Amino acid sequence: MNPARVIGHDFADRYTVTAAIGSGGMGAVYRAHDRRLDRAVALKTCPDHPPDLAARFRREAQTLAGLDHPNLITVFDLGHDADLGLLWMAQPLINGLSLADALRTSGPLPPARAAHIGRAVLDGLDCAHRAGLVHRDVKPGNIMLHRGVDGAERVTLIDFGVARPVDDPDPLTASGLVMGTPAYMAPEQIRQGVVAPSIDLYALGATLYAAVAGHPPFRALTTLEVARQHLEADVPPLPRSVPRGLADAITRALRKDPGVRPDAAELRALLSPAAPLAPTEPLPATEPAHVSGELVSEPAPPRRASIGLAFAAGVFTAVAVAAIWPSAPRRALHPPAPPAATVPAEPTPLERFDRALADCDCESADALAGDIDLDTRRARALVRRCHLAQGACSPPTDDEL
């Protein structure tokens, strides 16, 4: 939907939309003013058709409403606007950036900070698992980092759009597809579509690997090869700078057999020896960003909010169990840069396009295809390959390549 139709619109005679923040596969996210409580909120929207997307959107809101933990995203309100044909949910508007963006900006994290983030995510996951829910898409892009009022780093796990009850198959993906992000998927999730806490703990192990190494444990030009490595390959050695205790926690979480993988309590014990992040340690200054449809940052003048980081970066990354289609090559993360408190430069359209392809955010890649320096027909062919990895369209024709 054209954002111009939404900006200025009142939802439920309470939330007045003031600006567009991001867009993606499910819809768009806007900054809005809650007139009743006089506060800024993020208003996440989704078309009320097709029914499968609408059902997933409602289920996500209901899932979040049933969880109460400081390391999990929450939802304030849910509704339907018949005039615009949109479902919407109101969520917090928070200053911060995703772990994925922190890695792109500054490279691998210090081990102590990575362990701190791991413990926080693990605590949130434990709450969800005790409630009988499996996230199914734990990854750096779904972990938000922001400051508390005391200046200490806060960690919030976001995007429960594909969460499911334990051992409950997803009726919206009953066609043999597995929901998740290939670089962080557990072997049993790839092979059998298992919905169990073990797949979230494996994904957390892969996420912590990326946090200290700067990239996920398994990388390849196709999702098929990435999946094969998750199923068969040994975990590559971690950098020597990673302490033995943290390295042990990561490698044990990445065991192929879920039966010998540590549970949440065991994994937290392995992460505990690392010192927590000092409350006075500064976080990198960030530009407003919306990540994976969940948490957004409060705009910080005078910089302009960027919509290049689309909110649906992984919600619908579907990998076929029987035949995993090739995807666009994943771009390596930027090498480490000296820590600085300066605001990172706004990414170019080409960088945003490349990032959207790497995150399988096909809708944003398609929107950016006409703004980059590559040949437009070639760019759109890459976008179609991105869709193909999700089983969303036919292969690109020869004339498009």
Q: What is the dihedral of CA 82, 85, 89, 90, to 10 degrees?
A: -80
Strand partners, 97: 145
Q: Where are the beta strands (DSSP E) in 222-349?
A: 290-291, 295-296, 318-320
61 close to 79: Cβ distance less than 8 angstroms: no
Pure H helices in 233-346: 244-253, 264-271
Radius of gyration over every alpha carbon of the chain, rounded to an integer in angstroms: 20
In terms of Cα–Cα distance, which of 126, 117, 121, 128 is closest to 152?
117
Q: Crossing angle for the helix pair 111-130 and 264-271, nearest 10 degrees?
A: 160
- State the Cα–Cα distance between residues 106 and 31, nearest whole angstrom: 28
Task: Determine which one of 126, 137, 159, 359 is catalytic.
Answer: 137
Q: What beta strand segments (E) does 99-237 contain?
A: 133-134, 143-147, 153-157, 164-165, 177-179
DSSP annotation of 72: B
Which residue is listed with tokens 């030009």?
Answer: 221
Residue with tokens 């649906």: 312
Q: How far is the first Cα of the chain from the last one, in angstroms, to the nearest whole number?
A: 29
Beta bridge partners of 98: 144
Sequence-ordered strand ranges (E) for 12-142 = 15-23, 28-34, 39-47, 77-81, 86-91, 97-98, 133-134
Using an 8 Å Cβ cutoff, are 97 and 145 in contact?
yes
Is residue 123 part of the annotated active site? The answer reads no
- Backbone φ and ψ for 90, nearest 5 degrees, come out as -95, 135
Instruction: State the DSSP H helix or E strand holding residue 231, giving kind and residue range, or none if neither.
Output: helix 223-232
CA separation for the pair 128, 135 (Å, rounded): 8
- Active-site positions read 137
